[in-house]
A and B are shown apart, each in its own frame.
Chain A
């Protein structure tokens, strides 16, 4: 247990660990581990002197904090109006087809999670998606499939593909 929570403790150590730093701590532990476990929440509650229910309540509120394990890569496709009218619906269908899962789910091999996001502020090059922390714009169904292929290839070689905005 102590080893599992070492990363969580490191994040907490770097903060004052009080009420005001709770969101930052949650987000950093999430980014470190990919998601937050019940044990993480418990430890954060103990060290910030807050009830576990309160820590859970805050963690469950924010979309960039996950309480469930996600895939190795997380796709977040913008589904708002500017991306939708620029062809977002076709990209949405192409992604579901390519990965074989509907939005909101993770592939069985735990390589991909397919999520939607609200506007990510790159509307002039819509439709837009984030893959992990990188943004890809001017998407078409074909381009979306190519991007997935590049990540798959890079995973085999263990390198990160370069995003292309346009």
Chain B
């Protein structure tokens, strides 16, 4: 009863089977239209047709950046025919506050595998890799079993359904490094090296895994592929907003009554998510701020509770949707302490390759520590803001570029709270 109430307010596309089927049993997936999209694609559609359907759907990458998936695929598809291509599923989910990919993989693993096979067919790849973070042992176990069950039924492997198309999937576990979620660092790590980012361009779509054209897609993105092929791109575009079609999976955390995952159409507002899905603010306290998109996300105030949560609207408001983590903070939250804890994460996870990020995160952490302890002067705050801007524009990869975002946005909306902690 409670479950049906909770679900009736959601729109479940990628989570529609999670929790209702046995992830260890491929037959339960097949019984709910599993591998029908792959069968339909291989039997009735050309690779170009699959690619067009994904392009037409307007699907955007769900890892955080919101890049059009069909466009990314087309970059790989148009590479010279002699080149080996790869499909890589970025399952190195480690953005603090984010656990959607883990629950998709553990609840409905074949949805990810089927999406990868469809991507492979569309771009001419016969090999896929799932790079899964080292701490996610259960996800790895479930995916490995799913791959072998699918191979037994020839839903993966050589000459799938007798179509002539072959697709093999390998599951690879990481060894603990947040930066490996950055796609070029992920590729380095998959090749057995330190997970430090590569210079871009060339982008992975041109020179990726083993130097070959590579699609790197997030778990949630891939889980959207089979439903689009099965139901059509028009069906998908009817969900969500015109500029960001489809649903988004959010993790709601912090000072709300109900924490957890919800899937709603793109464009739902933060207020609706807190009230309808989060059960309202805990203890009836007032909303103060939310951090959207994980540790690297923006901190937004109450005035932005009614901004539609989709990639374009958020960007226009100077905020980001990111991975879909929503950390809700009530009136008692100490923003300086929060900024400190967030910077501690980046200081710890900076890979050390470039100076702005390696040194800048340490300097920002030190300044925030002084602010937190009440020993900072006005000049320290000015310096903190200056360093934050430098690090944002001059860091080598997304990690360093995003690390100052929480501080800069917290300062934009809660400056007086930082100033109230100064000694002078």
- The answer to whether A63 touches B177, judged by C-beta atoms less than 8 angstroms apart, is yes
Give a binary string over A24-55; 1 marks a CB under 8 Å from any B CB, 0 the rest. Answer: 10110000000000000000000000000000
- The answer to whether A124 touches B253, judged by C-beta atoms less than 8 angstroms apart, is yes
Partner of B191, one of A19, A80, A123: A19
The minimal Cβ–Cβ distance linking A69 to chain B, given in whole angstroms, is 18
The minimal Cβ–Cβ distance linking B196 to chain A, given in whole angstroms, is 8
- The answer to whether B94 touches A119, judged by C-beta atoms less than 8 angstroms apart, is yes
- The answer to whether A123 touches B192, judged by C-beta atoms less than 8 angstroms apart, is no
- The answer to whether B348 touches A121, judged by C-beta atoms less than 8 angstroms apart, is no
Give a binary string over B248-274; 1 marks a CB under 8 Å from any A CB, 0 the rest. Answer: 000101110001110000000000000
- The answer to whether B338 touches A81, judged by C-beta atoms less than 8 angstroms apart, is yes
Number of A-B contacts (CB under 8 A): 120
In the bound assembly, the distance between CA atoms of A58 and B99 in angstroms comes to 27
When C-beta atoms are compared, the residue in chain B nearest to A19 turns out to be B192
**Neighbouring B residues of A79 by C-beta, 8 Å:** 341, 344-345
28 contacting pairs across A/B (C-beta < 8 A): A21-B192, A22-B193, A23-B175, A24-B172, A24-B173, A24-B192, A27-B175, A58-B192, A62-B174, A62-B195, A63-B175, A64-B176, A79-B341, A81-B97, A81-B295, A82-B254, A85-B327, A86-B254, A118-B345, A119-B98, A119-B295, A121-B135, A121-B136, A122-B99, A123-B97, A123-B99, A123-B325, A124-B261
**Neighbouring A residues of B189 by C-beta, 8 Å:** 23
- The answer to whether B96 touches A82, judged by C-beta atoms less than 8 angstroms apart, is yes
Given contacts A58-B193, A79-B341, A119-B97, whether A85 and B173 have CB atoms under 8 Å apart is no
When C-beta atoms are compared, the residue in chain A nearest to B337 turns out to be A84
In the bound assembly, the distance between CA atoms of A64 and B136 in angstroms comes to 12
- The answer to whether A62 touches B177, judged by C-beta atoms less than 8 angstroms apart, is yes
The minimal Cβ–Cβ distance linking A65 to chain B, given in whole angstroms, is 6
The minimal Cβ–Cβ distance linking B374 to chain A, given in whole angstroms, is 17
When C-beta atoms are compared, the residue in chain B nearest to A25 turns out to be B192
Q: Which of B172-211 contact A (CB under 8 A)?
A: 172-178, 189-195
The minimal Cβ–Cβ distance linking A142 to chain B, given in whole angstroms, is 21
Partner of B135, one of A19, A20, A120: A120
In the bound assembly, the distance between CA atoms of A120 and B135 in angstroms comes to 7
Additional 9 contacts, C-beta under 8 A, given A81-B295, A126-B253: A20-B190, A58-B194, A62-B175, A82-B253, A118-B348, A121-B94, A123-B253, A123-B259, A123-B325
- Give A contacts to B, CB under 8 Å: 18-24, 26-27, 57-58, 61-65, 79-82, 84-86, 117-126, 130, 133
- The answer to whether A123 touches B95, judged by C-beta atoms less than 8 angstroms apart, is no
- The answer to whether B192 touches A121, judged by C-beta atoms less than 8 angstroms apart, is no
Residue among B102, B341, B344, B349 having the largest count of chain A Cβ atoms under 10 Å: B341
- The answer to whether A85 touches B333, judged by C-beta atoms less than 8 angstroms apart, is yes
User: Residue B392 at the A interface, CB < 8 A?
Assistant: no
Interface size band for B:
35 or more
Given contacts A61-B177, A62-B175, A64-B175, whether A119 and B194 have CB atoms under 8 Å apart is no
The minimal Cβ–Cβ distance linking B351 to chain A, given in whole angstroms, is 8
Given contacts A79-B344, A80-B295, A81-B96, whether A124 and B193 have CB atoms under 8 Å apart is no
**Neighbouring B residues of A125 by C-beta, 8 Å:** 259
- The answer to whether B192 touches A81, judged by C-beta atoms less than 8 angstroms apart, is no
User: Residue B68 at the A interface, CB < 8 A?
Assistant: no
When C-beta atoms are compared, the residue in chain B nearest to A65 turns out to be B175
**Neighbouring A residues of B175 by C-beta, 8 Å:** 23, 26-27, 62-65
- The answer to whether A81 touches B176, judged by C-beta atoms less than 8 angstroms apart, is no
When C-beta atoms are compared, the residue in chain A nearest to B260 turns out to be A124
Partner of B96, one of A58, A64, A65, A118: A118
Q: Which of B294-341 contact A (CB under 8 A)?
A: 295, 325, 327, 329, 333, 338, 341
- The answer to whether B96 touches A124, judged by C-beta atoms less than 8 angstroms apart, is no
When C-beta atoms are compared, the residue in chain A nearest to B349 turns out to be A118
In the bound assembly, the distance between CA atoms of A138 and B351 in angstroms comes to 31
In the bound assembly, the distance between CA atoms of A123 and B102 in angstroms comes to 12
When C-beta atoms are compared, the residue in chain A nearest to B348 turns out to be A118
**Neighbouring A residues of B190 by C-beta, 8 Å:** 20
**Neighbouring A residues of B255 by C-beta, 8 Å:** 85
**Neighbouring A residues of B338 by C-beta, 8 Å:** 81, 84-85
**Neighbouring B residues of A81 by C-beta, 8 Å:** 96-97, 291, 295, 327, 338, 341-342, 345
